[in-house]
Structure 1
Amino acid sequence: MRKTSEWVSLGHPDKMADYISSFILDRYLERDPMTRYALEVQIKDNFVTLGGEITSQANFTEDELTLFVKIAVAQIGYTKCYQNTWGAENTICDQDLVVTHHIGQQSPDIAQGVDASGWGDQGIFWGMAVNDPTTNFMPKDHYLARKIGQQLYDIKYAGLDIKTQVTLFDNEPEEIVVAIPMLPKHSEQDIANAVQFCCNGKTNYKLVVNGTGKFVKHGPIGDCGTTGRKLAVDFYGGNCRIGGGSPWTKDGSKADLTLNLLAREKALNFLKKHSDIQEVHCSIACRIGSPEIIVSLYDGNLNELTSYRETVNPAAIIDRFFLRKPRFAQLCRNGLLS
């Protein structure tokens, strides 16, 4: 059986958008842990658009929000020094960004459901766990794609805008694809060495580096970035159904974040109690204004193992996952399920 997953670095335009929104959310939570937040971000060339709804005791000016955007982009690595290395025609720098703002407050129709200790939306959410502690109980193809991409991003050998894709055949790497900005001074052999390191020294796979033959123009210069477009990267790659929306751009009162985390937790807990099962999937359904959820657990072939209704207090789940703390940028950087 073949399984394939991809991963993208924080320097990819879509993940840049996720990170900017997460970084701004942290600034609000530092001042008001009860902030209600839903902020989308789009970044293209030197232009950033912020749009959404924020209700908070923290009141930031547009100039302050613009500064937060620039700090987030600099933290990712797109600085003046980096741009000087690659050329302004090929990448961006934090200092040049122009930010526009379209931000209102949370709809009272949504707020009344959350205020009543219910969920603020309806939806279906999925989690999974694999019986393999060496991969953090994540699918191996997803784990390895992330490991390779994170290594290439962390060593800062070449460019920041990195994509990796791993195909397993009978649970071993068959093909690994890497897209990474490179200048003439960079060597494909050095990239191959980094990949080999992540594969515990193995080389019995096909490695493709920059399949088009050239990758120099990158980041938001090469591609428009938008929040919420890398859900397979954020969750389980090609191994699990995806429910709800993006876990980023939202505070903990949003089911897209909290119930996806709860589904992962329930899958993990079930797996640890039934060690003979190799793979567990969990779906959770909720409805607006009610704390009741419907939980269903399945094996790897999606045969139902059990299902039940449960009443959960959203505030308790938020506190259990520490979602009133300013930790969203860290989660975005390290991976939601890491």
Structure 2
Amino acid sequence: MPRRNFIFTSESVSEGHPDKVADQISDAVVDYFLGKDPQSRVACETMVTTQRILLAGEIRCAPCFDEQKYPDTAGWAPGVRDEIEAAVRKVVRDIGYEQTGFHWNSAHYENHLHGQSAHIAQGVDESGNKDEGAGDQGIMFGYATDETPDLMPATLDYSHKILQRLAELRHSGVAPFLEPDAKSQVTLAYENEVPVRAVKLVVSTQHAAGYDQAKLRDYVKGVMADVLPDGWMPADDADIYVNPTGLFEIGGPDGDAGLTGRKIIVDTYGGAAPHGGGAFSGKDPTKVDRSAAYMCRYLAKNIVAAGLAKRCTIQISYAIGVAEPLSLHVDLHGTGTVGEDRLEAVLPALVRLTPKGIRTHLQLNRPIYRRSAAYGHFGRTPDADGGFSWEKTDLVEALRAAV
């Protein structure tokens, strides 16, 4: 019997958090190669620390990298390495890092990307009668809930939105005392499984040297109140924590090293749903860690949007080199108006769940990923150019008709 009254917490981190800096750089690299060739293969890991940016990983992109054609430059086509560096530095500049300990223009940069293993390629590429196989084994999850208009867990939704608002105020110049690195945490009380108020709120934000902590606290509290629904702020001011350790002047990669893929729960559902374990950023859409997780969200969201359930979790599993998923599991958490087994039979008939089928349906072979690498991959508004296509609810009518 599920609990109906409880307290739950989720956290988020800003675009300037060191791990998110790394994620955005890795996805900018993915976008770069997909922009050159939609069939590119990319697995890019980034590390950032004090005045250093380091890329590593594997790529395959005929216009950019060919070891036989360009042996004197280790496989790189003329100008490509400079263009990648420019794209990387632009990410850091856009975030706003112009600090002594981490500056977009002067940070030491290294590119250790190299060609993809031929042994991986032979297992996953389409050839002859063989369909394209999954790039790796693994399990992927998708989730949706009617707690918010975005069909996301409210705790995570508000955690993201508080930091997004702070970033908007910083970028616009309204709040020049704010610096890029920040974290948030939102704890909500649920009654009858519906979020009704905030119990605890936490924001830690980097700030200009010497800025008054009392003024900072009042300012952040005002942002929290603007983002949360009316009447949701904690009644006791002691339940609102702003920079609880005190000064936060040294932040970003200068304060803590950042790595691609370390914020997977922030990226997904804030702990309200399972996660398969694989990160998204830095991976081209042939990797099912990314594309199948997007498809699971797409299917779960459309099920909830169709009114077939109030909550939905979907799991898909794959084996490396095998096209068809090994399993599909639907859980409506006791909130469904249709049987889970019926949906498990219907979904593969509506959308082909092979890696190629997923990419084709969601049109994922496009340079649309850097924007997903901060403030969550889910609960976002679909863009005209195909960004966040997995957030569309265009399967609603087909689902209703099929069940």
What percentage of residue pairs aligned between the two structures are identical?
31
2:117: which partner in 1?
Answer: 107
Q: Structure 1 residues 332 and 64, CA, compared in 2 at 3 Å: closer, same or farther?
A: same
Q: 1:22·1:332 contact (CA, 8 Å) conserved in 2?
A: yes
Flag structure 2 segments of 5+ consecutive residues without an equivalent: 1-5, 65-78, 127-131, 381-403
Report the Cα distance in structure 2 between the residues aligned to 1:132 and 1:174, rounded to whole angstroms: 17
Report the Cα distance in structure 2 between the residues aligned to 1:10 and 1:37, rounded to whole angstroms: 22
How do residues 1-338 of structure 1 correspond to structure 2 at under 5 angstroms? Answer: 1-59=6-64, 61-79=80-98, 83=99, 88=100, 91-116=101-126, 117-134=132-149, 136-156=150-170, 157=175, 158-170=178-190, 171=195, 172-183=197-208, 184-185=210-211, 187=215, 188-202=217-231, 203-204=233-234, 206-275=239-308, 277-293=309-325, 294-300=327-333, 305-306=340-341, 307=344, 310=348, 312-333=353-374, 335-337=376-378, 338=380
Report the Cα distance in structure 2 between the residues aligned to 1:63 and 1:150, rounded to whole angstroms: 31
Q: 1:51·1:101 contact (CA, 8 Å) conserved in 2?
A: yes
Aligned partner letter, 2:367: P
Report the Cα distance in structure 2 between the residues aligned to 1:37 and 1:313, rounded to whole angstroms: 19
Report the Cα distance in structure 2 between the residues aligned to 1:4 and 1:56, rounded to whole angstroms: 42
Aligned-partner SS, 2:220: helix
Q: Cα distance, 1:330 vs. partner?
A: 1.9
Q: Cα distance, 1:23 vs. partner?
A: 1.0
197-206 or 209-218: bigger deviation? 197-206
Q: 2:30·2:42 contact (CA, 8 Å) conserved in 1?
A: yes
Bigger Rg, which one: 2
Q: 2:123·2:133 contact (CA, 8 Å) conserved in 1?
A: yes
Report the Cα distance in structure 1 between the residues aligned to 2:123 and 2:277, rounded to whole angstroms: 18
Q: Cα distance, 1:333 vs. partner?
A: 4.1
Aligned partner letter, 2:26: S
Aligned partner letter, 1:193: G
Residue deviations 1:116-147 (CA, integer Å, cap 9, x gap) = 3121111000111002452x000000101011
CA RMSD of aligned residues (A): 2.1
222-231 or 69-78: bigger deviation? 69-78
214-223 or 323-332: bigger deviation? 323-332
Aligned partner letter, 1:16: V
Q: 1:5·1:142 contact (CA, 8 Å) conserved in 2?
A: yes
Residue deviations 1:177-219 (CA, integer Å, cap 9, x gap) = 0010123335211111011100134333521001101111001
Q: 1:43·1:226 contact (CA, 8 Å) conserved in 2?
A: yes
Report the Cα distance in structure 2 between the residues aligned to 1:226 and 1:298, rounded to whole angstroms: 33
Over 4 Å off, 4+ runs: 301-304, 307-311
Q: 1:119·1:286 contact (CA, 8 Å) conserved in 2?
A: yes
Report the Cα distance in structure 2 between the residues aligned to 1:299 and 1:312, rounded to whole angstroms: 20
Q: Cα distance, 1:262 vs. partner?
A: 0.8
Report the Cα distance in structure 2 between the residues aligned to 1:30 and 1:133, rounded to whole angstroms: 34
Q: Structure 1 residues 230 and 44, CA, compared in 2 at 3 Å: closer, same or farther?
A: same
Aligned partner letter, 1:18: D
Report the Cα distance in structure 1 between the residues aligned to 2:245 and 2:334, rounded to whole angstroms: 37
Q: Structure 1 residues 20 and 127, CA, compared in 2 at 3 Å: closer, same or farther?
A: same
TM-score normalised to structure 2 length = 0.77
Aligned partner letter, 2:316: I
Aligned partner letter, 1:175: K
Aligned-partner SS, 2:206: coil
Q: 1:10·1:160 contact (CA, 8 Å) conserved in 2?
A: yes
Report the Cα distance in structure 2 between the residues aligned to 1:50 and 1:160, rounded to whole angstroms: 22
Aligned-partner SS, 1:127: strand
Residue deviations 1:46-76 (CA, integer Å, cap 9, x gap) = 1111110000023254333322221111011
